[in-house]
Structures are given as structure tokens and as C-alpha cells.
Amino acid sequence: MLVNHEFGPFINKDSKILILGSIPSIKSREFGFYYMHPQNRFWRVLSDLFGEDLPKTILDKKDFLKRHKIALWDVLASCEINGSSDSSIKNPKVNDIKNLIKDTDVKTIFVTGRKALELYDRYCYKDVLIKAIYLPSTSGANATFSYDKLKEKYMSIMDYLKNNSKKEEK
């Protein structure tokens, strides 16, 4: 089934990092925002890392991202996909990530999942020239990573934000 990305990126001029998925899941497309499947652990991991309550509404999630200078988008603008299965992606059309971040403070890009990394490396890196940092998928279907292992891997976001803010203070 052909799927088009039905909602835009979440980004602000002062965003420091961009987190890219492959393309929104069925639930995310239904709700019109990122990582909205109830079994997806993305919001829980981030809120735990920042020591905050889990953001419940889309407005709460946008506020959380803005406060922490995090931008979200996906590598793909459209593709053929069965359900929400990244492994079934065919005929990908990529988003213009270079243009998205050109007037922002984004200097680091993280990708969630192997497919997002593969697509970014194949189609986007040559234009963006920022090496993507791999993070495991937070999907409930990713049984390889326990919640604690996910949190440990996602600490690299905190490390980057902490190190980046120290550089700005100098």
C-alpha cells in the first residue's frame, strides 16, 4: 500500500538534535504525530531520561520537544509499505532533510531503527553531510531491546545535549 507522510516535521530554530524514524506507523498516521502507538516506548524513554512525567497529549509532547531542543521527522516522505512493517518498505521517496535543518541549530542526527539508518545513509547523507547516530527502534515489536537496554542506548541523546550546552557556555 502506498503511504504518504501526512504531517510535517516538528522543529524549531533552536532545535539542537533531529531524531528521524523511517515513516509513521499506522497509529501515528491516525493521530497525526510521532510515536503514537501505545506499545511504542519512545515517549517513556525520553521522559525517563529527562526525569519528567510522561507527556500525554500531542500538545504536551510538542512542549516537551521544544523545551529540550529536539526535532522529529522521518527519512521518508512516501513509500509502499505493508502495515507498519519497515522490512516491507519499497519505492522510498525521501524528505528534504538538508533544507529542513539549514536555518536551525541542528548539528546531530539520530535515527531510530536499522531501516531508518539504512535509508538515511543511502539517500540523505550525501546531501546533509551529518553522520547519523543509530538508536534502536522503540517499537513494541522490537523485543531484542528491553526497556532498560533502550534507555541505556538513548542516553547518547543526553550525552550529546549535555556536551553541546557546555560548549555553548564557553
Local confidence pLDDT in tens for the 170 residues of the chain:
888 898 999 999 999 999 999 999 999 999 999 999 999 999 999 999 999 999 999 999 999 999 999 999 999 999 999 888 888 899 999 999 999 999 999 999 999 999 999 999 999 999 999 999 999 999 887 878 899 999 999 999 998 888 766 666 55
- Where in the sequence numbering do the catalytic residues fall? 40
Domains of the chain as residue ranges with CATH:
2-169 (3.40.470.10)
pTM of the model: 0.93
Query: Is residue 138 within 8 Å of 112, Cβ to Cβ?
Result: yes
162's grid cell: 549535555
67's grid cell: 523545551
End-to-end Cα separation, the chain, in angstroms: 51
19's grid cell: 531524531
* Strands 76-80 and 90-94, sheet pairing: antiparallel
